[in-house]
Structure 1
Amino acid sequence: MVSQTKAVQFGNIQLGTGIPKIAVPITGKTSDEVIQQAEKIILEKPDLVEWRIDFFNDVTDADKLKAIAEKLRSTLNVPLLTTFRTHGEGGELELSDEKYFEICHNIIAFGQTDGVDIELYHESNSVLSLLVAAKEHSVVSIMSNHDFEKTPDKIDIENRLTKMSEMGADVAKMAVMPETTDDVLTLLEATNNVQNKLTTPIITMSMGDLGKVTRISGEVFGSAVTFATVGAASAPGQIPINNLRNDLNDLKLK
């Protein structure tokens, strides 16, 4: 079956076409650490950068967050995805839903990012309001769900990704934790099925060592982005960027 995916413009790159794009996370706790990591990362020429603002010590201070967002934007020469990963989905900081949505709205309003991560499993009207805000500000919405405990069954994975698309997300993302090789195959089969049904680009990964194969096989099975490391990892199983780039090129479809 031919993929139905329609590419989404993300800064100067397209998600959902060709070889998976490589993202590298910034996990600095201070403004200096954020910029130092950014300067080191851009030397390795990733396709995009993910700024994990849940690591940033002053993330709840809107003025300080805006100041570092502006400085980071001027430092980077690649597209930027900004993510607050909540504690329940593997993030660093436990906040109320109200504060989570406030931070996400601020990030969109600052106008300093190409994309924003929006978690699926929050109050639906609040999620929809973020999607609307992102669209109004021409910010790409990547809706996500992470399960650090297990791998849901294939139908469940497919349904979650489909729901993200139906809600209006530009890109749908899901990460799961495998306990067996069968779990890895479940994730890959679900990914393949969904990319053959939806026009929305999808990002999927099976985490940890067992799931590393899913981080290099996205072009075959239909995952648009893969996450690499330059220094610290933000999730288990991420591969150093130079190794990952070689792996992706070796598996590139002719």
Structure 2
Amino acid sequence: MNVASKICVAIAPKRLSDLEPLFREASAVEPGFIEIRFDAMEPSELAAAVKKASEFTQLCRLIATFRPKGEGGFRAISDDERRDFWAALSEGFWGCDVESDAVSWVEHKNKIVSRHDFEGMPASLEGLFAELTEFECKAVKIAVTADDAVSTIPVWKTLLTESKGDRDAILIAMGEAGKWTRILGPSRGSLLTYASLDAGAATASGQVSAMEMRDLYRVDELNKDTRIYGVIGDPIGQSLSPNIHNPLFANAGLNAVFLPFLVKDLRGFIDGFVRLGTEQCGLNFDGLSVTMPHKVSIIEMLDEIDETAARAGAVNTVSSVGGKLIGYNTDAAGFLLPLKARVPDLNGVRAAILGAGGAARACLSALSNEGADSTVFARDESAGRALSAAFSCDFAKLCEGNDLSAFDVIVNATPIGMRGEFEHLSPVPEASLHAGQVVFDLVTSPAETLFLAAARNAGAEVIPGVEMLIAQGLRQFEIWTGTVGDEQVVRASLAAKMAS
């Protein structure tokens, strides 16, 4: 156990035989706390599980939780069963997480009084916090549901206020949009932050694995002076950018962290989180990585853009300098580096660009500057024609029957193939691919998409999206810090992530 750590690993053993192995696995991460979700336990083995867990109380600060289904528990639990559980709980447990309706049943010096809202955000978080502080307890915990980073602002502001009060505070925004509150919470006064053993063992939506909390985000090293960077997009769970920049920051000895932000309301995020004079969260934002669907729409919210962004008509990198937000595009350079390693001279090369978004614009800009003969293929005819007109190239409707056999280079700049709902699709499933072609898929997760697999099987040379990701990420790091990042550090980090 690391008594200085604020990481609390939550485990949910279903059978008595699961308890000790899960406890040992959690202990190996050296967290500050371990929470045991007894509500996941088989009822017939519950008493034996509590007795067994009591043997571990000298090894770690254990928190007992017995949550009914209505509050996010694993099963329906009657009030009588809850009373019996708390009455029988060993005094050796460091603390207990108890719902506000059951506080009177629990005699323990370290009560964490909790309230969960799985529908959204209460009208007044500060009012709810004040209500819960009326109970005799060590800490008040409120967990609410968020679907956009902007909707988490009330959670963060409440934490900043209440962490200075008489009770310890734990404020959590659940879901993908709230991950950043879990990572930064301890640095702003949260008593602890919950983490899972791995991605498949999360006991609540949005939990980050304990290993990532400790090693990737360095949660216990963050403080109020930590410089904040992040990737913004929708969706965002697939982004590998945190696995690029956090290792680079650590390797360079910088007090900085890179976070994922699920952003739907782009202007609300820029004004509420980043822009000096309007931001509400008190974070030290120095830079952003921008991904779909915001690469074009963010331009009007910036104070200026550099030549790379103006030429591409898209921004994937933002730097905050002296209160000004400056946009760049590192996608074009990141795209060309691995492509020119395979095709050194792109002049006159016939290239097919699949897609009409910000990434497609960057690729088209780069190819245009190299003298390539490009054609835009897009399902959205209006967007595709506008993009092709901007770069004086041809347009064709993207469909299953596209014949790509005449092209030397084919680039997938669509989200088709990305992990999730598009994972089992290809942007051109019937395309005629063959040896001699270079096929570049900008999708980074999974590393081997159906499109790349088909190209490889056809004898084409393939370039996975991670190659562009590494190249553009290293350029971003240089823009933000003024130093050159170690490529091998990035490759090692991404290899470990993809193997997990």
TM-score (norm 2): 0.42
Q: Secondary structure at the match of 1:167?
A: coil
6, 31, 34: which one pairs with 2:16? 31
**What is the RMSD of the two structures over their aligned residues, measured on CA atoms?**
2.2
Whole-Å Cα distance in 2 between the matches of residues 182 and 249 of structure 1? 25
Gaps of 5+ in 1: 1-10, 14-18
Amino acid at match of 2:78: S
Q: Secondary structure at the match of 1:101?
A: helix
Tell me by how many angstroms 1:104 deviates. 1.8
2:208 aligned residue: 239
Tell me by how many angstroms 1:212 deviates. 0.4
Tell me by how many angstroms 1:48 deviates. 0.8
Tell me by how many angstroms 1:172 deviates. 0.6
116, 121, 132: which one pairs with 1:146? 116
Superposition misfits of 4+ residues, deviation over 6 angstroms: none
Point out which structure has higher relative CO (alpha carbons under 8 A, 6+ apart).
1
Amino acid at match of 1:43: A
2:42 corresponds to 1:51? no
Whole-Å Cα distance in 1 between the matches of residues 117 and 80 of structure 2? 22
Across the two proteins, how many residue pairs are aligned to each other?
A: 220
CA pair 250-47 structure 1, distance change in 2 beyond 3 A = closer
Tell me by how many angstroms 1:29 deviates. 0.8
Whole-Å Cα distance in 1 between the matches of residues 189 and 108 of structure 2? 25
2:72 corresponds to 1:93? no
2:46 aligned residue: 65
Deviation sequence 1:83-114 (CA, Å, 0-9, x none) = 0111111111112223222222222xx33411
Tell me by how many angstroms 1:75 deviates. 4.0
Deviation sequence 1:189-241 (CA, Å, 0-9, x none) = 11112223x21111111011110000111144331210111131100111111
1:223 aligned residue: 190
Whole-Å Cα distance in 1 between the matches of residues 202 and 125 of structure 2? 24
Q: Secondary structure at the match of 2:35?
A: strand
**Rg larger in structure:** 2
Q: Quick check: 2:10–2:194 contact (8 Å CA) kept in 1?
A: yes
TM-score (norm 1): 0.79
2:104 corresponds to 1:128? yes
CA pair 114-49 structure 1, distance change in 2 beyond 3 A = same
CA pair 75-102 structure 1, distance change in 2 beyond 3 A = closer
2:159 corresponds to 1:185? no
Q: Quick check: 1:24–1:46 contact (8 Å CA) kept in 2?
A: yes
Whole-Å Cα distance in 2 between the matches of residues 74 and 191 of structure 1? 34
Tell me by how many angstroms 1:129 deviates. 4.1
Q: Quick check: 2:186–2:220 contact (8 Å CA) kept in 1?
A: no
Q: Quick check: 1:219–1:253 contact (8 Å CA) kept in 2?
A: no
2:408 aligned residue: none
Q: Secondary structure at the match of 2:176?
A: coil
CA pair 119-74 structure 1, distance change in 2 beyond 3 A = same
